[in-house]
Chains A and B, each alone.
Chain A
Amino acid sequence: EAGVAQSPRYKIIEKRQSVAFWCNPISGHATLYWYQQILGQGPKLLIQFQNNGVVDDSQLPKDRFSAERLKGVDSTLKIQPAKLEDSAVYLCASSTGGGATYNEQFFGPGTRLTVL
């Protein structure tokens, strides 16, 4: 079974530029998560999708971050414009998910973003 795929693995941009990350979850996984992991900290949830719909985006800085999951499969996370404090690893995870239960989340390798 293929794991969660993410691209690019590394990205360096200057502040005020825009950037996009892509995630392909495990086939058949209905729930998709984007986490932000700042150096020296644990991952923090940015947004959670259940199929096409957003379940939780309470910690997504909506003035600059946006995410979509078209057709309930792949997802993209965009930052526009980027700030220095956005430098972090962006992790995508997926699970079979849904309902009032817990399903194991499988994580991708992450995209390391450096904002100069």
Chain B
Amino acid sequence: AQKVTQAQTEISVVEKEDVTLDCVYETRDTTYYLFWYKQPPSGELVFLIRRNSFDEQNEISGRYSWNFQKSTSSFNFTITASQVVDSAVYFCALSVIYNQGGKLIFGQGTELSVKP
């Protein structure tokens, strides 16, 4: 069975602080994809990043960075110098490929609040 766990339900930081959102996943498949989505108060899910199971390189995009470690089944997300606009719910998700494409299995989400 596949599962995604985001142990942090809520995080509150002050603007300009760095913050890391944790994600742990479970799957027995060797081929899979991991994702992070942002859900602002408007409700629409915004795609942030996708990694496949064979690419463990860390990635940096502006203030965002992702650390993928297969050994610990983790795919953590760090926001550097957080801003108020980063306030949202962040979801980590897993997709295992099957015959007609993959469905997304989401974690519970982490609500990030960045205060000025």
B101 interfacial by beta-carbon distance below 8 Å: yes
CA–CA, A14 to B59, complex, Å? 47
Interface centre among A41, A95, A99, A105 (most CB of B within 10 A): A105
Interface residues on B, range: 20 to 34
Per-residue A-contact encoding for B40-82, CB less than 8 Å = 1, 0 else = 0011110100101000000000000000000000000000000
Find out whether the CB atom of B108 lies under 8 angstroms from the CB atom of A42.
Answer: yes
Interface residues of A in 71-92 (CB under 8 A from B): 89, 91
CA–CA, A12 to B104, complex, Å? 28
- Residues in chain B near residue A112, CB distance under 8 A: 43
- Residues in chain B near residue A110, CB distance under 8 A: 43-44
- Given A104-B50, A109-B43, A112-B43: A44 touches B101 (CB 8 Å cut-off): no
Find out whether the CB atom of A102 lies under 8 angstroms from the CB atom of B33.
Answer: yes
B25 interfacial by beta-carbon distance below 8 Å: no
Find out whether the CB atom of B91 lies under 8 angstroms from the CB atom of A42.
Answer: yes
A24 interfacial by beta-carbon distance below 8 Å: no
- Residues in chain B near residue A105, CB distance under 8 A: 47, 104
Least CB distance, B79 to chain A, in whole angstroms: 19
Find out whether the CB atom of A48 lies under 8 angstroms from the CB atom of B100.
Answer: yes
- Residues in chain B near residue A48, CB distance under 8 A: 100-101, 103
- Given A109-B44, A110-B43: A42 touches B107 (CB 8 Å cut-off): yes
| Inter-chain pairs besides A55-B99, A105-B47, 19 sampled, C-beta below 8 Å | A33-B103, A40-B109, A42-B93, A42-B107, A43-B106, A45-B105, A48-B103, A93-B45, A95-B101, A98-B100, A99-B100, A101-B101, A102-B50, A102-B101, A103-B101, A105-B104, A107-B44, A109-B42, A109-B44
Q: Which residues of B come within 8 Å of A, CB atoms?
A: 4, 33, 37, 42-45, 47, 50, 52, 91, 93, 95, 97-109
Closest 3 CB pairs of A and B: A42-B106, A107-B45, A55-B100
